[in-house]
Amino acid sequence: MIEDPVLLWSLVGTAAGIFLGLTGTGGGVIAIPILMTFGGYNIKEASAYSLLVLTFGATISWFFQRENTVYPVAAVLILFASIFAFISTPLKAISPNWLVNALLNLTCLFSLYSLWILRKTGDPDDNLSMIFRLKTASIGGAIMGFFSTMTGLGGGVLIIPWLTGITRLAFDQAIACSLLTIAVTAPFSAWRQGNLNLSTEAWISLIIPLIITSFIVKKLTSSVSHLHMILVRKLTLTGVIIVSMMRTLAVLF
């Protein structure tokens, strides 16, 4: 256990920054096991606080990848994710911890399946109509709003696999759309859940390491080829998802 909140949130920010730099996603999946293991938070509290990590991580990362955004798809995602986040918040409040835990791990399992089976590295992009992509994005946005609110997970483990495997966006487009959606909807979900009190020092301890480490990692990996970087992202996501599942399932068993 880490009693000092500044040290705890520095650890969260550093880990999330490394994760963001490697994968281009917000870092909620790595924040949850850290907050449970070293902060003593239960699954509900950790998943709520992870939305704050998602907000900053997604905003920073989207800014540098904004040219890949398919804005009609992102707009549909934001609309449906916001609606279902609003609906899901009171449901989470009355849900037992084991249900939140089970939903989190089901989300992780879907992510692993989607990353490696629905869409494989190097698959060609499908020439699908925008209407089809908007329809599937609306379903994905609804699912994302519900599960992000209930579990504290976002783009990296849910909507990116959906957008690549079902909506069939290119990987870079899926990342950019999911990051913009998370940046807009995560703070709304966090605010709706309430009781997220961080001191000014804790905020600074989260944000500064997140920015610095993500920048350093992106610079170190800038020479890696595009195809290899996609593989690195998928392997990193897979490893962190497995760690998160091991930590959260330990609570159940």
pLDDT tens by residue, 112-148:
887 787 655 455 556 678 899 999 999 989 988 898 8
| C-alpha dist (Å) from residue 241 to 3, 66, 112, 115, 129 | 26, 25, 8, 11, 32
Tokens at residue 55, please?
A: 């907000």
Q: What angle do CA 121, 172, 177 make, to 5 degrees?
A: 130
CA 246 to chain centre: 18
- Can you give the residue range of the structural domain that contains 10? 5-252
Output the pLDDT for position 34. Answer: 93
CA distance 209 to 138: 34
Domain total of the chain: 1
Enumerate residues 6+ apart whose C-beta is below 8 A from 58: 25, 26, 154, 155, 178, 179, 180, 182, 183, 186
pLDDT tens digits, one per residue of 10-63: 999 999 989 888 877 767 788 999 999 999 999 888 888 988 888 888 888 888
CA 175 to chain centre: 10
Is pTM beyond 0.85 here? no
Is residue 250 predicted with pLDDT exceeding 60? yes
CA distance 6 to 201: 6
Tokens at residue 200, please?
A: 């000014």
pLDDT tens digits, one per residue of 154-196: 666 677 778 887 888 887 888 889 889 888 988 888 877 767 7
